[in-house]
Chains A and B, each alone.
Chain A
Amino acid sequence: MKRPAFALLAALVALPLAAPAAAPKPFELEDFRSAVSLSAPQIAPDGKHVVLVVRRADFKKDTYANELVLVDTRTRAERVLTRGRDDVGEPRWSPSGDRLAFTASDGDHKIAQLFVMPMDGGDALRVTETKEGVGTYRWRPDGRAFAFTMRDPAPDKKEIDAHQDAFDVGDDHWATKAAPLPAHVWTVDADGKHAKRITSGTFSVGELGDFTRDGKRLVYTQRADSHFGHYRDTRIGVLDLASGRTTLIAPVAVHAASPNISPDGTKLAYGIEDPKSFSQTDLAIANLDGSGSRIASAKLDRNLQSAVWRADGRAVYIGANDRTRAALFVQPIDGAAQRVHLGVVNLSGEVSIARDGAMAFIGTTPARASELYLKRALAAAPERLTGYNDALAIHAIGISKTIEWTSADHYHLDGVLTYPIGFTPGKTYPLVLDIHGGPTATSTDSFSALPQLFASHGYLVFQPNYRGSDNLGGAFAQATVPHITSAPAQDCMDGLAAVEKLGIVDTKRIGVSGWSEGGLMTSWLIGHWHVWKAAVSGAAVNDWVAYSALTDASEFTPNFIGGSPWTSDAQMKLFEAESPLTYAGAVTTPTLILSDTGDQRVPTPLSYAFYHALLTKGTEVQFVAFPTAGHFPSDPVKREDVNRRWFAWLDSHLR
């Protein structure tokens, strides 16, 4: 489960890539082109195979291509299952393991459809023929049907086709070009027959959970409407498929997520907003009728990223950040959670569990990019089954370690420090701050491309987990309210002081950088301190007032800063006081501003404002725009270009 706000940043900026110890060659930017990313591992019910999505970049076509790969858990033999289905995703074994379902575009219309592949040979059958594309899906426990989600067609499609396409704007982002539409639940037989709509209305279906064992009911998350910004207004519904009626288990809007029914069919586990910290998701467990609902992970006090029932139905595996690790916990229905031993492996995504309890997952380590791991038993060490990123392993990698410090208000913070290749104690090195986005995210001690690129070129890289990060519990995540900028910025400065105390930093050569909330930090830090030689401010929230009107995450500022800036002078002052733009006149640091042209999350206009402010001041500034939609470029060429420009700007000023 993902918070929508800024969370994608951590994943993007910390693109996990790794290399074995013996290789002396430093990284150049192009070396990362060979990086393979892995996701969505699904272990077969009998535990003999894992299927996963393998993604590679094609720099010539500027696209990514996916394939499904089957890995034998005993022999580790790999076999590619799909051909020419470049956007294949979401593989799921049939309940008996005889077939594999997945989503992929159909050839003619490029619309995502659901396919079923027999695992004893034969073409995959396209099960759906939807006009709007399949969102997500689940097997019915008898293996004879599916539930899936699909966005509704526009109710005024006829008018729109006749160019009468004006629409009423709600809590939508500045680049919106049509009214958002709700998604709903459909069912279809596994042979492609009898597609049928089950739900309808102005509410929208988010995630699908499991069917009950009798296949008569289905859990899902229900969003109050189709405006993305209303993400907190999400509840858990149990849908009776025969009548189409939904019973809301979580009757209050609580940003519910990840509903899962226990293997014995008696309990429901789901994510729910922490009562004291809207930035944290806790694990709730309830009976299927909603009774007995309670928060099970209160003591664990970590932000739930994923929740998967243990095979015995008496505990739930929770993925959550913990200090500088992406950790796995096992949370019993009653009692204290235990950290699951993963060695140096960080969990990426959610675990997949076979009937016998064997667990497959994608993991990264400080020295190795993402690979498939298998944990055959709870006590066993994770085994690496694949070597997709061996090509990166020929390079020398910067060693990373966790740095800790204490804030004036007694939080015990941490961050990751990556050392330059060939680091020699006693010498000093230029330092680059690489600040994560979110703020609900964490820089973990995992292989990451940009820090390694800097490390290869003689830089120290510091990634601080400022307050608002989700690695230290709900209170810490919430401690950024309402001083969304100034409070975390102080944490970053405290962290920098802790790093400087190590005596290895050339304090005349420090650069600061980040994307999204990390860009916000950067824009703020250069307006308040003058220790920087250069800065890279990517997709930065430079102005909270404009942000609140233009972002797709329209609940973000009401949560983090409080009421609308237009409702009182005090609110307007607070919004302005926390906005880097207010202090842009003090910036003297040479700054590179980066933004997508169509960023709906942190609207591009905020970068224009900061650019003109620095220009007015006469500060050295360059503003580079990437002509693409989204909060970060999604194609390999532009992604690489972001890193190229980011590195080049800092390197040319710090060298």
Chain B
Amino acid sequence: MKRSSRVLFAIAASAMLGSLVAPAGAQSKPLTFEDLRRVVGVGSPQISPDGKRVVYVRSTIDWKNDRSDTELVLVDIASGAARTITHERPTVFAPHWSPSGDRLAFESSSERGKPVQVYVMPMSGGDAIKVTDAKAGVQSFAWRPDGGAIAYVTSDEAVNKKQIDEHNDAFVVTDEDFLVREKVTPSHIWLAPAAGGPAKRITSGSWSIPSGLFAAGIAWTPDGSGLLYAQQPDAVAAHFIRAQLMLHDLATNTDRAVASGRVGGEPVISHDGKSIALSMPRHASPYLQNDLHVLALGDAKEAGNSLALDRNVHWSAFMPGDKTLAVATADGVRNVLWMQPVTGAPKKVDLGDIDFAPGASVADDGGIAFIGQSTKAPPELYYLAPGASAPRKLTSENVWIADYSVGKTESIAWDVAGGFQADGVLTYPPGFTAGKKYPLALVIHGGPVSTSTQNFSGQAQVMAARGMVVFQPNYRGSDNLGDAYLNAIVGHVTSGPAADNLAGLAAVEKLGFVDEKNIGVSGWSGGGLQTSWLIGHAHMWKAAVSGAAVNDWIAQSTLADINMDFGAAFIPGPGPYTAEGRKAYLAESPITYARDITTPTLILSDTGDQRVPIVQSYALYHALKDNHVPVRFTAFPRAGHFPGDPVGREMAYRAWADWFSEYLK
């Protein structure tokens, strides 16, 4: 199961805190953005069923061509020997071992930009076979338990394809985002023989399996008789949150709702096929906290849940024996692994100073392969043997960082309204000297349902290397302290967190090293929202960077891919197009207070951001410019919520850091 939390604005968090790190060692060079081009990404670990080998996706930056190149690497756990097993494939991802471990399936395309297909590689030698030929490409797939076939998800051809081909391509808009240029077609399940051969359609209808950015996986029942999948009422992207878990019976070609009337993400099924673990919203909306519920597949009777663990679930898997689930969540300023018995109290697994990234893999013997994060270096692949107390590092992809000096990170806690104790992360410049004053840069995470952890952040480290202390507060709405704290954001989506962030700033100032004339505030997405709000309500800022900011909750709810339902989760009550709702939405929108802004502000946005539409950045830009506030608005001509290409990513972080370097002196 992939991450089941609805971390919607969290791109910033993962992009920012993503795979970038450094060990403590030799202090020599300060880290720059150019250096970070060397970071090797490790991801999608898959442990073989026998627990002896791990395959992972290795990604490196091709700066000249502005892309990430990926390949699959196979690691022998016992010896640590690693070898690359794919060559000259434009992209490779989503490796999955066959049930017996004799073959490895993965997604790839014959040429860059061509639709992605499933390939099956014999692990006893021989070329990989392309086993799908989906015109629209494969979104996700799952091995049939007997290893004889693969079920995969692909989207249908447009019903009016003929008219579209004749340029008669107008379409009816409903809950689409403002950049949509065609109707999304439903996604359905197909079955393809694992040895190659014609595929067969399994499901059809105007309903859809969630696709695109919200794609959900599918799972077989262990006896191979059924397929579990999420079903949304139509193909409109925003409606993924209305998805229900369904079971398709292949013999009768019928579908039934597994947990009728309850929405929930993609399924995790027990080894015995009797139970499913499903991530379900604690409250009305999946955009808030999601807990794990273990249900009987037959009658949906609840056998247990993670309500006592009380963290937003990022990933889970049944451990061998099906009595316990491995669960990944944020906790404080860390990403952690829990052992959650189906019935009983959860136990946090002590991994020492290594954090547990979501998206791990469990072998039949209970061995776990995972991406481990640390404060000092970019992530590496780790292995936790059954019953072992300490994880073992399997890769050394990012040892180069030892040549650089890396700033120390520290957590800080403070009291906020409602009786909560918030926390955050401080990153110090290398060579930080107590008694000296330093400029302070707030870098506020997005989400809001997300967490800034203490783990290595390339952005924070480069800013620290430039002499700033970086403060990343986990305001209410963050998913690191439990439902009460997360849910405290509801009804105060902007003002509530802003108060927490200001209280956090006060706590940092008490530490005595902050040059109070040189404080900058910044963030992307939900962090941009915070930034735009904070500069409209407080005036201690020397400079601000507001990236992809929700400046106007009405525009956000009207134009974003997650439109009305997202706004409604955080601003309950009547919608923005009622008199009362309009008032509530405007009250929590930074644009309402933009006239009070005096802070020199850099506005950043992708031109094709479907999540937080760029039009909100235009509004803030004009509000500042028309009031003669120093403002610069730099746009990145790309689709998406944050530049996805290496050059674009670096441009964004560089523009951000440069603005602070210019103003915070």
Contact = CB atoms under 8 A, between A and B. Distances in A.
B615 A603 contact: yes
A83 B436 CA distance: 78
A603 B619 CA distance: 13
Interface string A507-546: 0000000000000000000000000000000000000011
B618 A550 contact: yes
B636 interface: yes
B173 A166 contact: no
Contact of A616 (B563, B575, B652): B575
Given A162-B647, A164-B647, A164-B651, A605 B172 contact: no
A585 B633 contact: no
A546 B170 contact: no
Contacts of B420: none
Interface residues of A, number: 50
A475 interface: no
A545 B575 CA distance: 20
Contact of A166 (B179, B181, B564, B635): B635
Which of B633, B635, B636 has most A Cβ within 10 Å?
B635
Interface string A605-616: 100110111011
Contacts of B393: none
Nearest to B624: A566
B619 A546 contact: yes
Contacts of A62: 166-167
Contacts of B613: 605
Interface string A166-190: 1111000011111000000000000
A166 B623 CA distance: 22
Given A611-B173, A637-B166, A627 B579 contact: no
B170 A627 contact: yes
Interface string B159-170: 000000011111
A563 B655 CA distance: 31
B594 interface: yes
A624 B607 contact: no
B161 to A, nearest CB: 14
A635 B174 CA distance: 25
Interface in A574-617: 584-585, 597, 603-605, 608-609, 611-613, 615-617
A616 B567 CA distance: 14
B541 interface: no
B168 A641 contact: yes
Contacts of A584: 577
A625 interface: yes
B530 to A, nearest CB: 20
B234 to A, nearest CB: 15
Interface string B623-665: 1001100001111110000000101100110010000000000
A291 interface: no
A169 B621 CA distance: 9
Contact of B635 (A167, A567, A622): A167
A167 B648 CA distance: 12
B555 interface: yes
Contacts of A613: 577
Contacts of B555: 546, 605, 609
A175 B607 CA distance: 7
Interface string B594-621: 1100000001000100000111011101
Nearest to A593: B173
B146 interface: no
A174 B632 contact: no
Contacts of B652: 166
A109 interface: no
A228 interface: no
A545 B622 CA distance: 10
Contacts of B167: 62, 635, 637-638
Contact of B181 (A169, A176, A177, A627): A627
Interface in B351-409: none
Contact of A623 (B66, B172, B627, B648): B172
B2 to A, nearest CB: 29
Contact of B626 (A176, A566, A622, A638): A566
Contact of B615 (A177, A549, A567): A549
Interface string A540-575: 000001101110000000000001101110000000
Contact of B558 (A176, A605, A635): A605
A645 interface: yes
B535 interface: no
Contact of B651 (A166, A168, A585): A166
A627 B182 contact: yes
A595 to B, nearest CB: 9
Contacts of B618: 169, 174, 549-550
Contact of A637 (B168, B181, B576, B637): B168
Interface of A: 60, 62, 162-169, 174-178, 545-546, 548-550, 563-564, 566-568, 584-585, 597, 603-605, 608-609, 611-613, 615-617, 622-627, 635, 637-638, 641, 645
| Among all A-B residue pairs, the 4 with the closest Cβ atoms | A564-B626, A62-B167, A566-B623, A616-B577
30 contacts: A162-B64, A162-B66, A166-B636, A166-B637, A166-B655, A167-B637, A168-B634, A169-B618, A169-B633, A169-B634, A177-B635, A545-B619, A546-B619, A550-B618, A563-B626, A566-B627, A567-B627, A597-B179, A605-B558, A608-B173, A608-B178, A608-B559, A612-B557, A612-B563, A613-B577, A617-B577, A624-B171, A626-B170, A635-B167, A637-B167
Interface of B: 64, 66, 166-174, 178-182, 554-555, 557-559, 563-564, 575-579, 594-595, 603, 607, 613-615, 617-619, 621-623, 626-627, 632-637, 645, 647-648, 651-652, 655
